[in-house]
Amino acid sequence: MATDTVQPTPFDQADDRDSGSSTVDPSRPAFDVRALQRVLDGRYAEVRDLVRENLAEHASILSEAETLSVDDYRDRVKELLLTMAESGQTGMGFPAEYGGGEDVGASIAAFETLAYGDLSLLVKAGVQFGLFGGAILHLGTKHHHDAYLRPLISGELLGCFAMSESGHGSNVQALRTHATYDADTDEFVVTTDGDLGRKDYIGNAAAHGELAVVFAQLHVAGKNEGVHALVVPIRQDGEPAPGVRIEDCGHKMGLNGVDNGRLWFDQVRVPRSALLDRFAHVDDQGVYRSEIENPDRRFFTTLGTLVQGRISVGGAGIGASKVAMTLAVRYADLRRQFEATDPEREQLLLDYGMHQRRLLPLLARTYALHFSQEKLAGELHLMSGVDPSEETESRQRELESRAAGTKALATWHATRTIQECREACGGSGYLSVNRFAALKADTDVFTTFEGDNHVLLQLVAKGLLTGYASEFEDMNQLDMARFVGELAVETVIERTAVHKLVERIRDVLPGGDDWSDQAHVFDPDYQLAMFRFREEHLVSGVARRLKRGIDAGHNPGAVFSRVQDHVIAAARAHVERLVLEDFVAKVRSLPETPERDVLKLLCDLHALTGIEADRAWFMEHGRLSVQRSKQITKEIGSLCRRVRPVAVDLVHAFGVPEPVLRSPDLLDADLLDEQPTR
């Protein structure tokens, strides 16, 4: 087998930088940082710049968060929320007739960029405009829009999104809050069923919220019609409304500028018009009506309209990762340690191979996730305003699946990246002033809110195993036991047969049984083929295991539990493939410029790092030889050395405003670059 050689690019010349020198290397690859930032900012560059300007102007919140009391911090965040609302950046996704910008894509871009700053402000904005406002917009009809949208967009009316309960978070269909229609008074009576039914972790509830969109089991004429949403007042003149009990969740691991609280409802009466009735209503005769007859399909349709929140959380995780990468890479380009190559001067951290290995693959993955998030947000924008129908249902399910999977990968990436970047900054990274303390604490919950990541990947896997078949609508969202029992496994296996995939791969990458060793490691078709093979092999394998268990007469729930790790692995492989596809597609879509070249370099680094991380699996399944595995590891080291000279420019292209970076000792060139030798 011939050993691959690196294809020449403009970056090859920079492979061997003069380590230990802080001067600019004349062979340094050149690309326009502003041009690359424009690629990243995309069509919403002006929106992102508006948010950057506001963040820079109010960057003092980052230091105030460390000294203010919890109550004062919450009030300060609320004050900035209202300031943001005045600028127009929070209303971009709402209809123009109510003062919005009528552009969902713009609202996602604004939210992602807001993640560069104080994350309590980000989450409070998400609760107010994304969750509360989004529920009113997407689940309500014109009379709700007329009553609430304009004041909530301006911040005059603050509200909550009351879905999660102490006893049921992810399993929304089993909520224990009830709303019973009283025909005598033409009202709904909202009641909490014990402490397990209390609404928990509700943002805006503890101090500032006046209304809540409450998700409850709707009972009409003695029949439970399933989970619906109603607008319920929780405060009047600053005090809890009659029948409403409010409790503060107290101090949290992070995000203490957000007033999370608990809500109980004791026979709280609201008018019939309080029901958000886009998909179902109770008429003036007390009769429940819905154009969507199947209750499970109605439930899925209801939740599907709220997918923007999940997409926003994933984008926020990527934004926080960009801040961490900016801090760590710039610090590593200034901080010196040990006279490794020059007895007269200590060497820059970023010139050490291990430091490159720690940071630069994470940088490449941050770029990859950015472009996948861009693709997802674009699809949401196209789907916004489209009424759910049988024709659009498959596309909507695919959007929901991608949103769930991307959110999982993006938030796990944020947790890992922030930790690695903190460690890479040593003791300086441990100081609160350098932002890592807040980044770690505030993003930790991202992996569980808007859906626990493992639960979300189960939803992705369900879609893969059913092929988005029509029977999807008949399934309970998380009732995997029933799903396994009803699964048409033979169809799934036929659809995902691994031998068919191998044939397709051979068509693209000829070379017989040795196709994986004959292909060029920098060929994106090879990289994608590896990711696709893993995905379809895992999906097919889990389908076979499920079928064997069912055929043997085992309990479906027990069968699913036994293969749950396999299910998660298949879903994760699917989303990893989508992320790589999106990165490859982005690179291919660009004109031949230095910016395209550097993105191709990052795409290669991302793809090969992904193969290396799972090389045991690829070797077990005959897709990676020992020699090819070693070659990939070698090439990753080479790619890191080629990225190193432009690493600082690559993080500058994120456009994180300098004032929000703070970090005086992390980024002080005079302090770090001029250290005397020992």
Taken in order 168, 169, 172, 176, the sign of the CA dihedral is positive
Taking residue 513's Cβ as centre, other Cβ atoms within 10 Å add up to 10
Residue 294 lies in a domain: yes
Cβ(268)–Cβ(189) below 8 Å: yes
Question: Do 317 and 329 sit in the same domain of this protein?
Answer: yes
In this predicted structure, the answer to whether residue 570 has a pLDDT above a threshold of 80 is yes
Q: Give the phi and the psi of residue 519 in degrees, each rounded to 5.
A: -70, 155
Burial 111-130 (b: 16+ CB within 10 A, else e): bbbbbbbbbbbbbbbbbbbb
Final residue in a domain of this structure, among 281, 298, 315? 298
Q: What CATH number does residue 217 fall under?
A: 2.40.110.10
Domain assignment present for residue 54? The answer is no
Q: Which of 577, 652, 635 is nearest to 368 (CA)?
A: 577
Q: How far apart are the first and last CA of the chain?
A: 49
- The answer as to whether 120 is a domain residue is no
What is d(CA 230, CA 216) in angstroms, rounded to the nearest whole number?
Answer: 8
Kindly tell me the burial class for residue 156, based on how many C-beta atoms sit within 10 Å of its own C-beta (0-12, 13-18, 19 or more).
exposed
Q: Which residues have a Cβ under 8 Å from the Cβ of 238 and sit 6 or more positions away?
A: none
C-beta separation of 250 from 206 below 8 A:
no
Tokens of 673: 């670059």
CA 336, CA 482: separation in Å to the nearest integer? 59
Domain check: are 276 and 311 in the same one?
no
Angle among Cα 274, 280, 282 to the nearest 5 degrees reads 60
**Residue located via tokens 């036929």:** 494
Residues 542 and 633 in one domain: yes
Would you tell me how many other CB atoms lie within 10 Å of the CB of residue 244? 21
Residue at 526 is within a domain: yes
383 or 322: which carries more pLDDT confidence?
322
Contacts of 433 by beta carbon, 8 Å cutoff, 6+ apart? 63, 662, 663, 664, 665
Residue 325 near residue 651, CB atoms below 8 Å: yes
Average pLDDT over residues 602-611: 98
Statement: residue 223 has pLDDT above 80: yes
Average pLDDT over residues 541-553: 85
Closest by CA to 51, choosing from 649, 655, 664, 663, is: 655
307 and 180 in a single domain? The answer is no
Residue 637 has pLDDT above 90, yes or no: yes
The model's confidence at residue 662, banded by pLDDT at 50, 70 and 90, is confident
Quick one: 372 and 499 in the same domain?
yes
Q: Is 562 found in the same domain as 520?
A: yes
Question: Per-residue confidence at 556, pLDDT binned at 50, 70, 90?
Answer: confident
pLDDT one-digit tens code per residue, 287-300? 999 999 888 889 88
The secondary structure element, H or E, covering residue 482 is helix 480-486
Domain count, the chain: 2
Tokens of 509: 């990458």
| Residues 266, 327 within the same domain | no
Rounded Cα distance between 333 and 24, Å, is: 11
**Domain range enclosing 342:** 1-18+299-678
Least confident range from 298-307, 335-344, 516-525: namely 335-344
Mean pLDDT value of segment 422-447:
94
HSE-up (13 A, CA, CB side) for residue 99: 19
Residue 8 burial (CB < 10 Å; 0-12/13-18/19+)?
exposed
In sequence order, the β-bridge partners of residue 268 are 190
Residues 176 and 311 both lie in one domain: no
363/268 same-domain check: no
Cβ-in-10-Å burial (0-12, 13-18, 19+) of 298 comes to: buried
Classify residue 547 by its DSSP letter: H
Q: Is residue 169 part of a domain?
A: yes
The answer to whether the beta carbons of residues 311 and 377 sit under 8 Å apart is yes
Place of tokens 């949208």: 149
Averaged pLDDT for residues 32-42: 96
Q: Are 442 and 124 in contact (CB under 8 A)?
A: no
Please say which residue of 298, 333, 359 terminates a domain.
298
Does one domain contain both 442 and 591?
yes
How far apart (Å, rounded) are the C-alpha atoms in residues 302 and 300? 5
Q: Which of 314-318, 450-454, 463-467, 589-593 shows the lowest per-residue confidence on average (mean pLDDT)?
A: 463-467
What pTM was computed for the model?
Answer: 0.88
Structure tokens at 415: 């947790």
Q: What 8-state DSSP symbol labels residue 128? A: I
The CA-atom distances, in angstroms, between 253 and each of 419, 439, 585, 664 are: 16, 11, 39, 25
Domain CATH code at residue 468: 1.20.140.10
**Total residues found in the chain within this entry:** 678
Q: Would residue 106 count as lying in a domain? A: no
Q: Which residue has the higher pLDDT, 483 or 132?
A: 132
Q: What is the per-residue pLDDT across 612-626, written as a single tens digit (0 to 9) for each?
A: 999 999 999 999 999
Helix (H, G, I), strand (E, B) or coil at 187: strand
**What amino acid occupies position 390?**
E
pLDDT attached to residue 339: 65
Q: Is residue 170 part of a domain?
A: yes
Among 298, 318, 333, identify where a domain stops. 298
Query: Within a domain: residue 223?
Result: yes
386 vs 324: CA distance, rounded Å? 37
Q: Based on the domain organization, do 291 and 317 belong to the same domain?
A: no
Over range 267-273, report the average pLDDT.
97
Q: State whether 337 and 378 are in the same domain.
A: yes
Rounded-to-integer distance, Cα 364 and Cα 368, Å: 6
Count other Cβ atoms within 10 Å, centred on residue 468.
15
